[in-house]
Amino acid sequence: MGMSEFYGPADEAESIATLHRALDLGINFFDTADMYGMGANESLLGKAFKGQWHKIIIATKFGIVRDPNDASIRSVNGHADYINKACDDSLKRLGIDVIDLYYMHRLDKTVPLEESIGAMAELVRAGKVRYIGLSEVSAETLRRANDIFPITALQSEYSLWTRGTEQTLLPLCQELQVGFIAYSPLGRGFLTNTISNTMHLSDKDFRKQSPRFMGDNFARNQQLVAELTEMANDKHIKPAQLALAWTMAKFPHVIPIPGTKRQSYLEENIKATDVKLTADEVAKLDDIFAPDKIAGDRYPESAKSMLDS
């Protein structure tokens, strides 16, 4: 996502080099969406991976509709006709014949779930999609959807400072054998301990409107990251590596997808797979980042209406 929008200016050459380096390092699962850069991110991956799709598992999403005249205006569409068109458009931008994993990016609460999931199931039967997934839905919605057609993956925000899925969604995913894809596992960069303030962020950077990056919330959350950094220093690793290792140590079916625009951070992040945490270390991190210690909501009020949780 960050290669096309939301996290400052884009650099296509560096983005493509980073994608190629990821493939060289053995990463084969790439996540995008039609709303990232209003289609530009899918086109970027299509350009970067042309001729190499046999090496890759690609996941993309539909459902968040942006106003072409004002991209900040968004709505959700889960109607069958829209889903069919969105899929065809994504296939064209990516330059492929089939999408490995196709997510409903947000639940359209005005459309019967049977219609939306039914349309996705038809895409599987038509050979345009291999597996289907959901994003940011409640446990109740996940169970209902899985009764209609098998759900392969659920993508929701999950990190040390966003743990709301632990009580119901993560256990349900284990029960239903649904993979859990953790987005923003580095807290939108906050857990890397490289953001001392938001002054250097561009005005279009999403984090400028994020409650956790504002005022007293920012300062309080920095105190938690200082403790994370101290633990990381003791293990001679980076805070980002410790945060990623924690997500993989908590539940066996969690796959974190840290976003980056640069090769240097990519190479740093992948080393988290070599970090082994003891039960005591996991428990200590759980305590440092107990949900009641996190300051601020994860989304501004304007975005909360799009969440099914």
Q: Which two tokens stand for residue 133?
A: 């997934």
CB of 41 within 8 A of CB of 61?
A: no
CA atoms within 13 A on the CB side of 60: 32
Q: Which residues pair with 102 in a beta bridge?
A: 60, 132
103 given a catalytic annotation: no
Longest dimension (CA), the chain: 54
Angstrom distance (rounded) from CA 36 to CA 135: 15
Cα first-last separation, the chain: 23
Sheet containing 29-31: which strands, arranged edge to edge? 29-31, 57-62, 99-104, 129-135, 153-157, 179-183, 254-257
Active-site option among 7, 36, 183, 265: 36
Task: Tell me phi and psi for residue 132, to 5 degrees.
Answer: -120, 155
* Among candidate residues 165, 178, 216, 195, the one with its CA nearest the CA of residue 265: 195
Place of tokens 């807290």: 187
Give catalytic residue positions.
36
